[in-house]
Each structure stands twice: as C-alpha cells, then as structure tokens.
C-alpha cells in the first residue's frame, strides 16, 4: 500500500495510460504481466494525452467564438435570464412531475392525520417543497454565474449607478488548465450540448440542477472547476525571504558559524513549508515561474534542464504538466535550494572598506564595475584585474544582452522576449532606470549583480502590464 500512496511521475502516468490502451504485455516465459513502465507504453499514453489536449483546445476555441458573438449582443450590459429557453423543457417536466405527486399527496393530507399514508404524504410534499426551492436557487445561481463569467471574459464593469464600461478582460493564473477553460467557455457560450443540464436526486431524495464538467463528472453549479486570478501572497512571502537572505549575507549579519545550521535558515525553511503546502498554491506559483517547471520536469524525467527545453514536444508537455499531481515536498526542496543559492551566491561586504569578505567555501560571484562607484550600493567593492576584464566585455554589450547573459536572471519569458527582439533596450532603459540599485549610462547597465529580486521582478511585471509583452509574470 505504501508504494501506491507515493506520487506518480508524469512518465509513469503516461505509461499507465498507454498500458491500459494496449493489450496486456505478457511474459512468454512466465505467463505473467510485465510490471513497470515501458517506453512503448509511455509513447502510447503520451499520444493519447496529446489528442485529448488538442481536442480540448479545439472546443475552447469554438466556444470562445460563440462567447464573443454572445457578448456582441449585449452592448448595454450583460444579463442572462434565470429561465433560459433551453432549460424550459427540463424545468417544465420537473414541475409537472412534482405537481402530480404533490396533488395526490395533498388529497391524502386533506383527509386528516388518521388517514392511511398521511405521514408519508406530508413528508413527501415537504421534500417536494424543498426540492422546488433548491432547483429554483440553482437556476438563479446558474444564471448569475454565467452573467459574471461573461462580464469577466468581456472585460465589462458596472458602477453603482449602472454605468457600463469596458476594460481588459480578467487575466487568469498561468496554471489554468484546458479543463478549466473548457468549463469557463462551456458556460459563457451556453454550450448545453456539452453541459447536459439535468435535475438529479441524491440518495436522500434531494433534487439539484447539475451539469457535466469538462472531465465528464456530474456536478452542482457551485462545484464546477473554473479559472481563477493568480493569488500572489505566497510569491510575496518567498520574494521577501530571498531579499532578506541576500541582505543577511551582504551585511554579514549571520550570527551562526554556517548558513546551513543557522536559525535564520530554519525560520526561512519553515516559512516556505507553511506557505507552499497545498498543490493548488504550488501549481499556480510554479506556472508563474516556468524555470521551476523546467527543473521539476527534468527531475521527473531524469534528464537535464537543457534537454527538457530542447525537446521538440516541450510546449505540449509543459501544458500537460498543468494536470500533473505535484509532489509538494519536492517543490519545497526546489524553493529551499534556490534560497540556499541566494545566500551562497551573494557577497559579504564590509561597510566603508574596499575589501570583500569571503565566508567558508562559498565561491564569490562577479562584481560589476558599476558597483565600485555607485553610492547607493552597500559600501565599495574591490575590483581585480580579472573582474575588470570581464566587466569591460559585458559593458560593451547592449542592455538586453547584459541581462540575457546574467546568471541571476533565468525567467524564461524575459529571456525569450529579449532574444526575439520584442523586449528592446529602449523599453528596458525606461523601466529599469527606476529600479533602486540599477544605473544605465552610455548603453551600459550596472547593478544587476546586487539588485533585489523583488525590485527587478516588479519592474518586469510593470513592463508586462503596460506593454502587454508576455514575460511569464
């Protein structure tokens, strides 16, 4: 049982799908089914997953178009009636059926408490009353949900005076799955062929209006899985941990003999485990930071990150990992590793001196030339001939290249936009010039080696928001 409780890797998941699709592989020698995943099973499972993914995207695109046509019909505001014409028949049949039972029971009730079947008649009619109210509430919830989703997708807002305005549509978390998007556009477009609304009863006789979700599960209206906006509260906590860890090293304020055994590290690790302990938080955070997904995929498949990114099927597999059940402890380990690298990769600087203090066996990072003359930096840095030569080579490159080649910056969206030429030096100079610790003069950027991650990330988010360049934030 213990083995079954362990998280299953994506490789094993696809392999299991492939094994189910194909005939059982039998050992000719022993007549037993071969255990463990095979490459053949993986390929079959992956091909099936790819077909399902393409099918889902096709349905999403179809209902996106239908949703837009529906939005075009509401120039003065969006409103979905409780009794949609496509629900009329369903509700009418339900009420007709319930009315017949109710009237029969009412006749028995009219005969008084001593009449045969009186208690059953009263109980049944009370149940019918509750069911009619519940179904009516579900109809209202269904109409309200569709109305709110149409407003989100259409970027429609309404003030307290009823004035309608149009803005950018809501941006959902990057970890949003195709199944969630299918649910969204099935509802907004009114795709009843996919939703298949029904009035169903549970074992107690309670009636509810239910629909099919994109995975084929029959659910109540309020249970359907929909996209959500990204909650960055855990990200803020983690960014602050990274910043405080870097400052701790730079200012030389660590009281323990080593970072690994320090109280500061234990507190930081505890904070990571408290703020990244459920799969939903972890999934959304990781897909906002694709470099983590790349590392997780590499670990899962037993290959390097470079091999993951060079895989021609990378984009498809990246999307499929949105449906993967992430190993919480493994993701926490990745975040803790990044925290440790922040400490070991930072320089300890003595105030008002030209000396760099190297602690333990930690290898110092390169110091940029600008850091020796920037009064906003924490003290002055010593510059060796080797670093001077490296900085001269870096300073001769455009702003984008300096960022692209900086080992501290590994955000795939940023690197991709620089490489494609979409994120130009002109844009970078405009936004990075406002970042504390960064100076840009004569096409040279200085301070990248010491800028706080949160300050740099905030600038990138602002670029993405104001220029609509996708930087994976």
Helices 290-301 and 328-344, packing angle to 10 deg: 120
Structural domain contains residue 301: yes
- pLDDT level of residue 77 (50, 70, 90 thresholds): low
The pLDDT of residue 76 = 61
Q: Is the pLDDT of residue 10 over 90?
A: no
Among the residue ranges 52-61, 78-87, 268-277, 294-303, the one predicted with the least confidence is: 78-87
Among the residue ranges 100-114, 216-230, 260-274, 397-411, the one predicted with the least confidence is: 397-411
Q: Is the pLDDT of residue 87 over 80?
A: yes
pLDDT, one tens digit per residue, over 377-412 is 333 333 344 444 443 333 335 788 888 888 778 777
- pLDDT level of residue 357 (50, 70, 90 thresholds): very low
The pLDDT of residue 473 = 75
Structural domain contains residue 197: yes
Mean pLDDT of 229-239: 92
Domain termination residue (choose one: 315, 346, 377): 346
The pLDDT of residue 21 = 65
Structural domain contains residue 1: no
The pLDDT of residue 349 = 63
Among the residue ranges 33-37, 51-55, 311-315, 438-442, the one predicted with the least confidence is: 33-37
Among the residue ranges 7-16, 258-267, 271-280, 435-444, the one predicted with the least confidence is: 7-16
Model-wide pTM > 0.75:
no
Same domain, residue pair 92 and 215:
yes
What's the domain range around 13?
A: 8-23+34-71
The pLDDT of residue 385 = 41
Q: Is the pLDDT of residue 159 over 70?
A: yes
The pLDDT of residue 400 = 87
Highest mean pLDDT among 34-43, 165-174, 195-204, 462-471: 195-204
Structural domain contains residue 106: yes
Among the residue ranges 27-41, 173-187, 431-445, the one predicted with the least confidence is: 27-41
Percent pLDDT > 70 in the chain is 82
Structural domain contains residue 29: no
Q: Can you give the chain as a three-state secondary structure string?
A: CHHHHCCCCHHHHHHHHHHHHCCCCECCCCCCECCCCCHHHHHHHHHHHHHHHHHHHHHHHHHHHHHHHHHCCCCCCCCCCCCCHHHHHHHHHHHHHHHHHHHHHHHHHHCCCCCCCHHHHHHHHHHHHHHHHHHHHHHHHHHHHHHHHHHHHHCEEECCCCCEEECCCCCCCCCCCHHHHHHHHHHHHCCHHHHCCEEEECCCCCEEEEEECCCCCEEEHHHCCCCCCCCCHHHHHHHHHHHHHHHHHHCCCCCCCCCCCCHHHHHHHHHHHHHCCCHHHHHHHHHHCHHHHHHHHHHHHCCCHHHHHHCCCHHHHHHHHHHCCCCHHHHHHHHHHHHHHHHHCCCEECCCCCCEECCCCCCCCCCCHHHHCCCCCCCCCCCCHHHHHHHHHHHCCCHHHHHHCCCCCCCHHHHHHHHHCCCCHHHHHHHHCCCCCCEEECCEEECCCCCCHHHHHHHHHHHHHHHCCCCCC
The pLDDT of residue 371 = 36
Mean pLDDT of 286-294: 90
Domain termination residue (choose one: 327, 346, 365): 346
Same domain, residue pair 303 and 425:
no
The pLDDT of residue 75 = 65
- pLDDT level of residue 11 (50, 70, 90 thresholds): low
Same domain, residue pair 361 and 401:
yes
Q: Is the pLDDT of residue 293 over 70?
A: yes
Q: Is the pLDDT of residue 28 over 50?
A: no
Q: Is the pLDDT of residue 121 over 70?
A: yes
Structural domain contains residue 97: yes
- pLDDT level of residue 415 (50, 70, 90 thresholds): confident
Q: Is the pLDDT of residue 209 over 60?
A: yes
With a CB cutoff of 8 Å and minimum separation 6, the contacts of 358 are 348, 364
Q: Is the pLDDT of residue 210 over 90?
A: yes
- pLDDT level of residue 271 (50, 70, 90 thresholds): very high
Q: Is the pLDDT of residue 268 over 80?
A: yes
Same domain, residue pair 192 and 99:
yes
Return the higher-pLDDT residue of 158 and 105: 105
Same domain, residue pair 325 and 389:
no
Q: Is the pLDDT of residue 6 over 70?
A: no
Highest mean pLDDT among 17-21, 207-211, 385-389: 207-211
Structural domain contains residue 28: no
Same domain, residue pair 59 and 88:
no
Domain termination residue (choose one: 223, 239, 273): 223
Return the higher-pLDDT residue of 137 and 81: 137
Same domain, residue pair 285 and 370:
no
Same domain, residue pair 136 and 241:
no
Percent pLDDT > 90 in the chain is 37
Give how many domains the chain has, as a whole number.
4
Same domain, residue pair 365 and 419:
yes
pLDDT, one tens digit per residue, over 172-208 is 999 999 999 999 999 999 999 999 999 999 999 999 9
The pLDDT of residue 457 = 84
Structural domain contains residue 161: yes
The pLDDT of residue 57 = 92
Average pLDDT of the residues of the chain:
80
Same domain, residue pair 370 and 473:
yes
The pLDDT of residue 114 = 86
Same domain, residue pair 142 and 13:
no
The pLDDT of residue 352 = 38
Same domain, residue pair 117 and 214:
yes
d(CA 378, CA 437): 10
The pLDDT of residue 456 = 87
């Amino acid at each position: 049982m213990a083995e079954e409780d362990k998280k299953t890797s994506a490789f094993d998941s696809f392999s299991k799908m492939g094994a189910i699709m194909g005939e059982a592989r039998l050992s000719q020698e022993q007549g037993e089914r071969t255990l463990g995943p095979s490459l053949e099973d993986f390929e079959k499972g992956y091909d099936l997953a790819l077909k399902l993914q393409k099918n889902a995207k096709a349905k999403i695109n179809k209902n996106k178009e239908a949703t837009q046509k529906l939005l075009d019909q509401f120039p003065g505001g969006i409103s979905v009636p409780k009794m949609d014409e496509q629900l009329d028949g369903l509700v009418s049949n339900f009420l007709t059926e319930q009315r017949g039972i109710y009237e029969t029971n009412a006749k028995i009730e009219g005969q008084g408490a001593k009449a045969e079947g009186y208690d059953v008649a009263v109980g049944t009619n009370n149940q019918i009353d509750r069911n009619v109210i519940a179904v009516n509430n579900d109809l209202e919830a269904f109409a309200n949900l569709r109305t709110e989703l149409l407003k989100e997708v259409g970027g429609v807002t309404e003030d307290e005076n009823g004035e309608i305005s149009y803005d950018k549509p809501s941006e959902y978390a990057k970890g949003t799955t195709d199944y969630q998007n299918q649910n969204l556009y099935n509802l907004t477009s009114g795709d009843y062929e996919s939703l298949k609304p029904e009035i169903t009863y549970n074992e107690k006789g309670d009636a509810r209006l239910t629909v099919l979700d994109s995975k084929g599960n029959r659910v109540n209206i309020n249970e359907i899985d929909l996209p959500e906006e990204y909650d960055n509260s855990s990200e803020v906590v983690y960014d602050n941990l990274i910043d405080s860890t870097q400052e701790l090293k730079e200012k030389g304020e660590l009281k323990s003999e080593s970072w690994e055994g320090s109280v500061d590290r234990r507190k930081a690790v505890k904070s990571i485990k408290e703020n990244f302990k459920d799969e939903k938080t972890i999934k959304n955070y990781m897909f906002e930071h694709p470099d983590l997904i790349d590392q997780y995929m590499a670990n899962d498949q037993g290959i390097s990150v470079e091999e993951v990114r060079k895989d021609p099927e990378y984009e498809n597999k990246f999307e499929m990992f949105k449906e993967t059940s992430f190993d919480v402890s493994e993701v926490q380990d990745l975040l803790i590793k990044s925290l440790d690298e922040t400490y070991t990769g930072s320089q300890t600087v003595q105030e008002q001196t030209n000396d760099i203090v190297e602690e333990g066996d930690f290898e110092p990072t390169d110091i940029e030339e600008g850091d020796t003359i920037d009064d906003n930096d924490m003290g002055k840095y010593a510059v060796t001939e080797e670093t001077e030569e490296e900085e001269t080579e870096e300073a001769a490159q455009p702003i984008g290249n300096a960022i692209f080649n900086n080992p501290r910056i590994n955000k795939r969206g940023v690197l991709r936009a620089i490489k494609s030429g979409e994120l130009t030096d002109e844009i970078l100079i405009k936004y990075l010039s406002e970042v504390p610790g960064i100076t840009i003069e004569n096409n040279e950027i200085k301070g990248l080696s010491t800028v706080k991650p949160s300050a740099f990330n905030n600038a990138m988010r602002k670029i993405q928001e104001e220029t609509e360049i996708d930087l994976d934030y």
